[in-house]
């Protein structure tokens, strides 16, 4: 198994099932049926629409800092669609919105989050999902503990933990992967190698030829997968989930993909991204690849995609309107939920703050 993954395997090309021309590798029977494929396609397409809208909202001063999924849709959707939201959990970094939505998080909450409303960080009642993690890699220990805790309580739930190539350099990533191995925690680690940590290219992030090589050092299987290939991501994650559910422990998947846009709304990648490289990578757009496959199978066409895009624009318009209708925040927003049993001193501070500035009425 992956414990046998070596520098040699890693040097080899990432595992690919859906070729750039949209054809499926010989003999591979995709686990996703037509309906599943279209569902995934819609999620990827919606993500693109949300990215575009959030960028323009930020430019208009209607939204805070936003990081788009742009280019990583297959890596996120391919992995998330291998989960059962009813029992499996997602522990995100901050660039995996489609996976969060599939778990049951709503677009309105997402917009509230990026608009700076605390409510946006509540994932929703009964939604198996942890909040966005801004402190890079800090979520990876959480994912391991969560998986351990689920198993401890007799659940067969699996945790899918996302983190970036940059986050992989943090001590937390190492401590968590090592603990997952020791405890055989049911976690699927999806390391999204999108080539960049803000302006830092992967070659300055590590000298390893593949992050999948890290797995052997933790006694777990590691697999290098083409992150722009929906089918390969879904297949690798499905196998990893099955293994975790069966009690055979964690897996590390390196999803090799590419950040097709700026790091976030305040970043200017022209300072550090080679234009030619960007063009070349844009040609490998995961949506284009999937679209070719769907076309070949007669599942969609230009007209259908245009209709879908229109439908998504309307959906996002409605969500934006609802999010922007969130009542303005009063001082209470600073104090609610800090403690279940607040110290007297904090209640006193709250009283002063509210007296000085009575909370607006909805």
Partner 1 sequence: MAVMTMVEAIRAGLGAALEGDERVLLLGQDIGVNGGVFRATEGLQERFGAERVVDMPLAEAVIVGSAVGLACSGLVPIPELQFLGFGSQAFHQIEGQVARMRFRSQGAYPMPMVLRAPFGGNVRTPELHSDAHEAKYVNAPGLKVVMPATAHDAKGMLTEAIRDPDPVLFCEPLRGYRLISDEVPEGDYTVPLGRARTVREGSDLVIVAYSAAVVVATRAAERAGEEGYSVGVLDLRSLVPLDVDALREAVAGCGRALVLHEAPLSAGFGAELVATIQEEAFWSLEAPVLRVTAYDAPYPPGGIEERYVPSVERVLAGVRTALEA
Question: What residues are labeled active site?
Answer: 259, 263, 272
DSSP category for residue 130 = P
Structural tokens at position 212: 């999948």
* From Mg ion, a copy of itself, ligand TPP, none, interface partner of 198 (C-beta below 5 to 8 A by class): ligand TPP
Query: Which of 8, 60, 153, 344 is close enough to bind a copy of itself by CB under 8 A?
Result: 8
Contact 159, 88 (CB under 8 A): yes
Query: Which of 209, 278, 308, 335 is close enough to bind partner 1 by CB under 8 A?
Result: 335
Q: Does residue 136 interact with partner 1 by CB under 8 A? A: yes
Structural tokens at position 252: 């590390």
* From Mg ion, partner 1, ligand TPP, none, interface partner of 95 (C-beta below 5 to 8 A by class): ligand TPP
Query: Which of 67, 168, 194, 228 is close enough to bind Mg ion by CB under 5 A?
Result: 194
Region of 328 please: left (phi>0), alpha (psi -120 to 50) or beta.
beta
* From Mg ion, ligand TPP, partner 1, none, interface partner of 272 (C-beta below 5 to 8 A by class): partner 1
Q: Which of positions 224-263 make contact with a copy of itself (CB under 8 A)?
A: 249
Helices 230-245 & 286-296 angle (0-180, nearest 10): 100
Binding mask 72-91 for partner 1 (x = CB under 8 A): --------------------
DSSP category for residue 297 = T
Looking at the Cβ atoms of 1 and 198, the one nearer to ligand TPP is 198
Structural tokens at position 334: 């600073």
Query: Which of 23, 56, 121, 135 is close enough to bind ligand TPP by CB under 6 A?
Result: 135
DSSP category for residue 303 = H
Looking at the Cβ atoms of 205 and 265, the one nearer to a copy of itself is 205
Q: Which of positions 96-125 make contact with ligand TPP (CB under 6 A)?
A: none
Q: Does residue 107 interact with partner 1 by CB under 8 A? A: no
Q: Does residue 189 interact with a copy of itself by CB under 8 A? A: no
Task: Give the Cα separation of 16 and 22 in Å (integer).
Answer: 11
Looking at the Cβ atoms of 10 and 160, the one nearer to a copy of itself is 10
Looking at the Cβ atoms of 136 and 319, the one nearer to ligand TPP is 136
Q: Which of positions 38-97 make contact with Mg ion (CB under 5 A)?
A: none
Q: Is 35 exposed, middle or buried (0-12, 13-18, 19+ CB in 10 A)?
A: exposed
Buried b (16+ CB within 10 A) or exposed e, 132-145: bbeebbbbbbbbbb
Q: Does residue 6 interact with a copy of itself by CB under 8 A? A: yes
Task: Give the Cα separation of 152 and 248 in Å (integer).
Answer: 15
Contact 69, 96 (CB under 8 A): yes
Of residues 230, 225, 226, the one with CA closest to residue 290? 230
Contacting residues toward a copy of itself, per CB under 8 A: 3-8, 10, 169-175, 178, 181-182, 184, 204-209, 211, 213-220, 249
């Amino acid at each position: 198994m992956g414990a046998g993954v070596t520098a040699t395997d890693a040097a080899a090309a990432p595992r690919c099932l859906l070729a750039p021309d949209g054809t499926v590798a010989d003999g591979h029977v995709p686990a996703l049926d037509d309906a599943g494929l279209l569902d995934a396609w819609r999620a990827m397409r919606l993500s693109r629409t949300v990215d575009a809208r959030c960028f323009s909202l930020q430019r208009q001063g209607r939204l805070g800092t936003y990081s788009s999924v742009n280019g990583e849709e297959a890596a996120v959707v391919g992995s998330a669609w291998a989960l059962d939201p009813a029992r499996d959990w997602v522990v995100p970094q901050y660039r995996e919105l489609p996976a969060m939505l599939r778990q049951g998080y709503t677009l309105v909450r997402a917009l509230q989050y990026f608009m700076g409303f605390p409510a946006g960080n509540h994932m929703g009642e009964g939604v198996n999902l942890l909040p966005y993690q801004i402190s890079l890699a800090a979520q990876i220990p959480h994912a391991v503990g969560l998986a351990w805790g689920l198993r401890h309580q007799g659940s067969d739930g699996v945790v899918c933990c996302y983190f970036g190539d940059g986050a992989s350099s943090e001590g937390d990533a190492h401590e968590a992967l090592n603990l997952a191995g020791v405890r055989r925690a049911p976690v699927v680690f999806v390391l999204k190698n999108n080539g960049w940590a803000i302006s830092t290219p992967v070659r300055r992030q590590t000298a390893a030829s593949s992050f999948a090589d890290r797995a052997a050092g933790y006694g777990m299987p590691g697999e290098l997968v083409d992150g722009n290939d929906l089918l390969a991501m879904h297949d690798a994650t499905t196998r990893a989930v099955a293994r975790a559910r069966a009690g055979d422990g964690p897996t590390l998947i390196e999803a090799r993909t590419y950040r097709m846009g700026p790091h976030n709304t305040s970043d200017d990648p022209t300072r550090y991204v080679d234009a030619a490289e960007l063009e070349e990578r844009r040609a490998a757009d995961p949506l284009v690849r999937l679209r070719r496959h769907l076309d070949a199978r007669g599942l969609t066409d230009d007209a259908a995609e245009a209709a879908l895009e229109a439908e998504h624009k309307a959906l996002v318009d409605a969500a934006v309107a609802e999010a922007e209708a969130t009542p303005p925040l009063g001082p209470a927003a600073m104090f609610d939920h800090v403690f279940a049993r607040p110290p007297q001193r904090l209640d006193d501070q709250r009283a002063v703050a509210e007296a000085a500035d009575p909370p607006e009425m909805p």
